[in-house]
């Protein structure tokens, strides 16, 4: 006989826990939201752009590509620039940037960043495809929802080179390999070929990132070898060992096949478009195999940069790691062995790559090999898995509230440590720790008393989720780099020059090396007008212009040859940056007419002016 007391009665009448946001499982809701979240948040950085020197250098390389007359010239120029450049430059991002510069409906800076915006949206869509294969439709929606407003992902829409392109192709390669592994033990399949093509595209757009992706592909390939199978009672040890060896052989053959096809595609591309095959630079300062252990790195600065990169994902990520380990240990449904090996292998390779190259990039997102992004993506999957565990009601209210408070504490720790008193004593630290513990205990006690009913419990959980998501999105929106004063001056200078009639040629005169931003804005003003640089006025006056040297003289009929030659006038725009003085008397004696086209501006502390020059000459041999 069972004795039913008051506690048992309260337990029986309590409403069962229901899942949060059940509508997110419907495909009609998930698909439109994924597309909307992939394209909408990036517009914040795309329309409020801020160009850096590295971004404009990529734009200048793209201008060299579009100077070709045929599409084949574009491929050749992009491939040869990538092969001959001393800095890491890759052909596919350069070609994509060149295509974006051909859009005439946008301003020059918008055309330059168009490929960055589209590549960031392409990355989110690729991540949704991979996440759907790992955890289903709602898991894909959570991955895109957490990534779209994060600080590091918002940077992707306004930075060149477009680092999202190799990351997207790496995600596609992982997705195709997962499809091949879950389909069966076939030696060759269409997903395996798609994984090879995506890996080759990653190699042509990210270089060393593709080599790191091989480690993740190897982990996915070996997942079938270590999968648990229920053998029959009549199965012997020799048969089990034979089956493991056969699976290992197939996994190695698949991995070698993917690598061989990708290397063959890259080598064929290089041999066709750059005349020779270029081996990857394995000894560069940015390559992660070059360093075994970065002894000169500061562990505290590395941990601080890692916290800033994770942001408000910390609590969800810890929950996700615990849930993944618990599901694999208990063999629960929801995460297969291939997906678990993908996440673990990706996190290990990404952390190793990021850590050993820390002395080179110091946690910066827009570095040549984008190791920070390669590490951030598996963290995103773990954080989304933790968020889904909260939505499934697999955790209690106390655990979720504790994770939320810990996340907010770590997230705002840099702001709090900046206000610490100069002499930090042990008594002050002990008092702070005791006060924090009391606040957390009191908060948990109040929350547990409030969340006695199912309705109040759901409100508390949803409040924690919304609070962390809003914190992450707000941090990303307010961390964008604003326009500097010299950049505003450059934009005002461009607005004055863009109203001029397109000249025959353009000169940039400066005694020092000109900034990439200034050269890019001048080259993007008028389509088809070449930019020439000079250090003094003598070069401008006596050096034949590029446009006149390249334009052939048209043949004339006998009737036209007897007519007198008229005076031809060529218009030019001369931009001076620095302390160059206008030799007015000398130009007046030569009959050259200079007029000021813009008001004086200051860019990087130096005077910036624009002049109209009516270059006069007699006949074809003018000057």
- The predicted-structure confidence for 276-297, as pLDDT tens digits, reads as follows 555 554 444 444 444 544 445 5
Strands, E assignment, 247-384 = none
Check: pTM over 0.75? Answer yes or no. yes
Instruction: From residue 609, give the alpha-carbon distance in Å to each of 303, 434, 521.
Output: 47, 63, 14
> What distance lies between CA 199 and its chain's CA centroid?
17
Angle between helices 53-66 and 516-523 (to 10 degrees): 40
Question: Alpha-carbon distance 13 to 533, whole Å?
Answer: 83
Task: Among 331-340, 486-495, 559-568, 574-583, name the most confident range.
Answer: 486-495
**Other residues' Cβ atoms within 10 Å of the Cβ of residue 76:** 18
Q: Which residue has the tokens 């045929």?
A: 70
Lowest mean pLDDT, pick from 149-153, 438-442, 501-505, 617-621: 617-621
Reduced to 3 states, what is the DSSP secondary structure of residue 334? Answer: coil
Residue 618 has pLDDT above 60, yes or no: no
> What distance lies between CA 582 and its chain's CA centroid?
45
Lowest mean pLDDT, pick from 6-10, 211-215, 289-293: 289-293
pLDDT of residue 549: 36
Question: Alpha-carbon distance 452 to 15, whole Å?
Answer: 10
Residues facing 596 on adjacent strands: 611
DSSP category for residue 233: T
pLDDT of residue 551: 39
Asked if residues 92 and 167 have their Cβ atoms less than 8 Å apart, the reply is no
> What distance lies between CA 242 and its chain's CA centroid?
44
| Pairing verdict, β 606-618 and 601-603 | antiparallel
* Average pLDDT score over residue span 451-469: 83
* Average pLDDT score over residue span 447-467: 80
Structure tokens at 253: 């053959």
Within 482-623, residue ranges assigned H as helices are 485-497, 516-523, 537-542, 546-550, 558-561, 584-589
Structure tokens at 210: 């593709």
Question: Alpha-carbon distance 283 to 291, whole Å?
Answer: 9
Nearest in space to 602 (alpha carbons), one of 490, 521, 472, 482: 490
Q: Which residue has the tokens 């979240």?
A: 37
Question: Alpha-carbon distance 57 to 175, whole Å?
Answer: 33
Asked if residues 381 and 143 have their Cβ atoms less than 8 Å apart, the reply is yes
Question: Alpha-carbon distance 103 to 112, whole Å?
Answer: 10
| CA angle, residues 371, 478, 489, in degrees to nearest 5 | 95
Q: Which residue has the tokens 């513990």?
A: 437
| CA angle, residues 154, 155, 161, in degrees to nearest 5 | 135
Q: pLDDT class for 126, splitting at 50, 70, 90?
A: very high
pLDDT of residue 422: 61
Lowest mean pLDDT, pick from 34-38, 104-108, 214-218, 597-601: 104-108
User: In 3-state terms, the chain is what percent helix, strand and coil (to 5)?
Assistant: 65, 5, 30
Instruction: From residue 590, give the alpha-carbon distance in Å to each of 215, 262, 493, 615.
Output: 68, 62, 29, 10
| Pairing verdict, β 567-577 and 505-509 | parallel
**Other residues' Cβ atoms within 10 Å of the Cβ of residue 229:** 9
Question: Alpha-carbon distance 434 to 441, whole Å?
Answer: 11
| CA angle, residues 493, 497, 498, in degrees to nearest 5 | 115
Over its C-alpha atoms, the chain yields an Rg (Å, rounded) of 31
Q: pLDDT class for 445, splitting at 50, 70, 90?
A: confident
Lowest mean pLDDT, pick from 38-42, 94-98, 362-366: 362-366
Reduced to 3 states, what is the DSSP secondary structure of residue 2? Answer: coil
């Amino acid at each position: 006989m069972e004795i039913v007391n008051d506690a048992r009665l309260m337990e029986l009448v309590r409403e069962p826990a229901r899942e949060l946001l059940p509508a997110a499982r419907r495909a009609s809701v998930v698909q439109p939201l994924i597309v909307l979240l992939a394209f909408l948040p990036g517009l914040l950085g795309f329309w409020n752009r801020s160009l850096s020197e590295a971004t404009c250098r990529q734009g200048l390389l793209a201008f060299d590509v579009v100077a070709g007359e045929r599409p084949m010239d574009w491929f050749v120029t992009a491939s040869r620039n990538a092969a001959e450049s001393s800095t890491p430059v890759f052909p596919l991002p350069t070609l994509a940037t060149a295509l974006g510069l051909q859009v005439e409906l946008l301003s020059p800076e918008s055309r330059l960043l168009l490929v960055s915006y589209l590549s960031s949206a392409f990355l989110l869509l690729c991540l949704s495809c991979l996440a759907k294969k790992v955890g289903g439709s709602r898991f894909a929606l959570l991955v895109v929802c957490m990534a779209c407003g994060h600080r590091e992902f918002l940077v992707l829409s306004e930075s060149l080179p477009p680092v999202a392109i190799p990351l997207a192709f790496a995600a596609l390669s992982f997705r195709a390999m997962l499809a091949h592994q879950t389909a069966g033990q076939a030696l060759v399949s269409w997903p395996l070929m798609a994984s090879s093509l995506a890996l080759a595209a990653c190699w042509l757009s990210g270089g060393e990132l593709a080599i790191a992706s091989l480690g993740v592909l190897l982990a996915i390939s070996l997942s079938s070898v270590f999968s648990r199978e229920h053998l029959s009672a009549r199965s012997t040890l020799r048969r089990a060992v034979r089956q493991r060896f056969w699976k290992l052989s197939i996994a190695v053959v698949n991995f070698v096949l993917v690598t061989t096809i990708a290397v063959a595609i890259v080598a064929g591309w290089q041999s066709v478009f750059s005349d020779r095959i270029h081996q990857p630079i394995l000894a560069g300062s940015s390559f992660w195999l070059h360093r075994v252990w970065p002894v000169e790195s500061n562990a505290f600065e590395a941990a601080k940069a890692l916290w800033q990169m994770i942001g408000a994902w910390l609590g969800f990520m810890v929950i996700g790691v615990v849930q993944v380990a618990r599901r694999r240990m208990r063999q629960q449904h929801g995460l297969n062995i291939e997906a678990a090996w993908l996440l673990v292998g990706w996190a290990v390779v990404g952390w190793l790559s990021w850590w050993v190259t820390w002395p080179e990039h110091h946690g910066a997102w827009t570095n040549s090999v984008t190791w920070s992004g390669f590490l951030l993506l598996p963290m995103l999957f773990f954080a989304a898995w933790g968020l889904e565990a909260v939505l499934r009601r697999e955790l209690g209210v106390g655990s979720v509230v504790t994770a939320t408070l810990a996340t907010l504490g770590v997230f705002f720790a840099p702001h709090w440590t900046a206000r610490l008193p100069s002499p930090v004593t042990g008594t002050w630290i002990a008092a702070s720790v005791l006060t924090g513990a009391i606040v957390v205990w009191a908060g948990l006690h109040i929350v547990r008393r409030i969340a006695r009913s199912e309705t109040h419990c759901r409100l508390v959980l949803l409040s924690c989720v919304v609070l962390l998501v809003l914190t992450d999105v707000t941090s990303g929106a307010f961390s964008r780099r604003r326009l500097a004063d010299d950049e505003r001056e450059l934009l005002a200078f461009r607005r004055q020059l863009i109203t001029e009639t397109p000249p025959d040629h353009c000169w940039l005169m400066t005694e020092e090396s000109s900034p990439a931003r200034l050269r890019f804005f001048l080259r993007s003003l008028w389509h088809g007008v070449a930019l020439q640089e000079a250090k003094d006025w003598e070069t401008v006056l006596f050096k034949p212009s590029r446009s006149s040297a390249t334009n052939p003289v048209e043949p004339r009929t006998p009737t036209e040859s007897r007519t007198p030659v008229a005076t031809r006038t060529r218009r030019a725009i001369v931009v001076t940056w620095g302390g160059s003085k206008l030799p007015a008397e000398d130009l007046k004696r030569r009959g050259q007419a200079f007029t000021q086209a813009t008001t004086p501006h200051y860019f990087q502390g130096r005077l910036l002016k624009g002049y109209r020059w009516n270059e006069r000459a007699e006949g074809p041999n003018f000057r």
